[in-house]
């Protein structure tokens, strides 16, 4: 069916079940399909040549528009809260208020930096942001087949939109919900628009009033792409789901988190910096039978 599933990076706990879901997605056809994806470390790369790639927040945090003091404070927050975010032994209930704390503090620090809207494109150009290998085929396939791509991100919307724009794949079928900056008349950052989206509230609670999934009520086949436990709830707002294939990128602390990922995602991709498997699945589903 999908030769890419034979890759060494692929782990599947229930191969028969996964084959069944992929087959059902194909039979339901392209008109019923939608893709829901996280952005940072899912569509963007986790690492390159042994170095971490930046998230949309990191791109801002380490850019030339942030003072040295600001950079240090933002880094301290990362070192304190990131281990909590990925700790497999803490419950989501424990993590949620701490994530709100982290995002709120980080956003307050960014606001203090008086960032200019006009600097964003340059900040992204100068950064080491990288989309995963195969991103062009991924975005092109979805666009060509009119498959909606919903990017649900706890990152910075203005930055990630700019990354997609500079990669020339910001097509009309792409919709983003994220943390967006608000600027005053002089183009200076004053605050972040609500509601706050962090790793563990990516569900219907922050989509209230957007009506996005309601407009797509006939699209009951879903491919969900994520890299954290928090991404598993991204499709909660879909009114009726007939088939859902959950593909998880396990980027970090692979050994200790493997079991949890295999219990939660249908397909787990370990330390795989490509979209090969996703593209292979899409090719199979989108091939006219």
| Average pLDDT for the chain | 96
Band the pLDDT of 168: cuts 50, 70, 90: very high
Confidence of residue 283 (pLDDT cuts 50, 70, 90): very high
Query: Is 272 one of the annotated active-site residues of the chain?
Result: no
User: By C-alpha distance, which of 135, 130, 145, 132 is closest to 169?
Assistant: 135
* Per-residue pLDDT tens digits for 24-73: 999 999 999 999 999 999 999 999 988 999 999 999 999 999 999 999 99
Read off the pLDDT of each residue in 225-247 and give the average, rounded to a whole number: 96
Catalytic residue among 40, 61, 231, 276, which?
A: 40
| Residue 76 is a catalytic residue | no
Cβ(166)–Cβ(150) below 8 Å: no
Percent of the chain with pLDDT over 90: 92
> Could you read off the pLDDT of 104-132 as tens digits, one per residue?
999 999 999 999 999 999 999 999 999 99
* Predicted structure pTM score: 0.96
Nearest 5 degrees, angle CA 272-CA 55-CA 174?
80
Domain limits of the chain? 3-48+130-286, 51-126
- Residue 264 has a pLDDT of 98
Instruction: Give percent of the chain with pLDDT exceeding 70.
Output: 100
**Is CATH 1.10.10.10 what the domain over 51-126 is classified as, yes or no?**
no
CA 281, CA 137: separation in Å to the nearest integer? 12
Question: The domain 3-48+130-286: what is its CATH number?
Answer: 3.40.50.1000
Q: What is the pLDDT of residues 70-96, one digit of tens each?
A: 999 999 999 999 999 989 899 999 999
Distances 87 to 77, 93, 263 between C-alpha atoms, Å:
16, 13, 16
- Asked if residues 190 and 115 have their Cβ atoms less than 8 Å apart, the reply is no
Catalytic residue among 38, 158, 266, 272: 38
């Amino acid at each position: 069916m999908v030769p890419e599933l034979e890759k060494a990076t692929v782990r599947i706990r229930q191969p028969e079940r996964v084959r069944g879901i992929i087959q059902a997605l194909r039979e339901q056809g392209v008109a019923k399909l939608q893709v829901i994806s996280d952005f940072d470390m899912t569509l963007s790369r986790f690492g390159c040549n042994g170095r971490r790639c930046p998230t949309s927040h990191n791109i801002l945090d380490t850019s030339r528009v942030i003072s040295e003091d600001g950079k240090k404070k933002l880094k301290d927050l990362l070192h304190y809260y990131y281990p909590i975010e990925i700790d497999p032994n803490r419950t989501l209930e424990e993590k949620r208020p701490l994530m709100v704390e982290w995002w709120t503090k980080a956003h307050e620090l960014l606001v203090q930096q008086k960032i200019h809207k006009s600097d964003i494109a340059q900040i992204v150009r100068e950064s080491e942001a990288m989309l995963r290998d195969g991103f062009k085929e991924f975005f092109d396939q979805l666009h060509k087949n009119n498959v909606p791509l919903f990017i649900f991100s706890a990152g910075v919307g203005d930055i990630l939109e700019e990354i997609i724009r500079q990669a020339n794949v910001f097509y009309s079928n792409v919709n983003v919900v994220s943390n967006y900056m608000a600027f005053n008349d002089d183009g200076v950052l004053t605050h972040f628009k609500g509601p706050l989206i962090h790793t563990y509230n990516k569900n219907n609670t922050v989509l209230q009033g957007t009506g996005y999934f309601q407009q797509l009520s006939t699209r009951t086949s879903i491919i969900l792409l994520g890299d954290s436990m928090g991404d598993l709830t991204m499709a909660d707002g879909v009114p009726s789901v007939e088939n859902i294939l959950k593909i998880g990128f396990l980027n970090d602390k692979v050994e200790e988190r493997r079991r949890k990922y295999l219990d939660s995602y249908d397909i787990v991709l370990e330390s795989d910096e490509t979209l090969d498997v996703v593209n292979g699945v899409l090719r199979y589903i989108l091939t006219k039978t």
